[in-house]
Amino acid sequence: MADSIVQVRQLVRTYQQGSIEVKALRGVDLDIGTGEFTALMGPSGSGKTTLLNQIGALDTPTSGSVKIDGQELVGLDKVARSSLRLNRIGFVFQAYNLIPVLSAYENAEFVLMMRGVGEAERRDKVMATLAAVGLAGMEHRLPGELSGGQQQRVAVARAIVGEPALVLADEPTANLDSKTGYELLDLMRTLNEERGVTFVFATHDPKVMEAARRVVTLVDGRIAEDLVK
């Protein structure tokens, strides 16, 4: 795939649990094209979160290759991996992972501050992004003053404010009621369609499977099905 943002080749990840070797990924090959809206599905233990963590440079493989925009992750040192995550990848987690003492604005701003972006530019980007995710007027609220759905919108804003090439979302709707989950998916589909942001989800949620344009099903660490709608 010429315009692949993610290229995974023969990816293997094993873990040692006591005397038992657990094979989380067993020779996975996967390409994700730029602008895709893709769900990684499968039962618990199928390897989907492990695969997402490999793509996000949060973990290193036992063997195989992972490339983001043509850059090989295997062999990068800790500093280079951190830089890639900061500058190229946005993350949305099931537990939101917001900093509780920071406002919605400050949580969204954090990535830009880490990049050294100037204050005026940070303000323009953060305000525009919070408005885009439906949080205009809530900039100064702390996470504890927001609903679960609003907190997850802050997490999405934080993920996209730096205009990353790729957003990885691990069970982003798991802690939300059905209506809020649909609203969040609509928001992410809009960002995907209007801004061209590539989204990859690891999820159990049928709502995400419905919204995705491609569904990759993992079973026992292998790709069992790859369905493009």
Domain borders along the chain are 36-47+82-228
pLDDT at 44: 87
Q: Is the separation of the CB atoms in 130 and 139 below 8 Å?
A: yes
Greatest mean pLDDT range, 18-22, 37-41, 187-191: 37-41
CA atoms within 13 A on the CB side of 71: 15
Asked if the model's pLDDT at residue 128 lies above 60, the reply is yes
pLDDT band at residue 84 using 50, 70 and 90 as cut-offs: very high
pLDDT band at residue 105 using 50, 70 and 90 as cut-offs: very high
Order of strands across the sheet with 89-93? 89-93, 166-170, 198-202, 37-41, 214-219, 222-228
Read off the pLDDT of each residue in 72-83 and give the average, rounded to a whole number.
92
- Nearest-5° angle of CA 182, CA 184, CA 188? 115
pLDDT at 18: 85
CATH 3.40.50.261 fits 36-47+82-228, yes or no: no
If you search the block for the tokens 């949580």, which residue do you land on?
107
Q: Is the separation of the CB atoms in 4 and 33 below 8 Å?
A: yes
Interval 166-191: pLDDT, tens: 999 998 888 888 888 898 899 889 98
Asked if the model's pLDDT at residue 14 lies above 80, the reply is yes
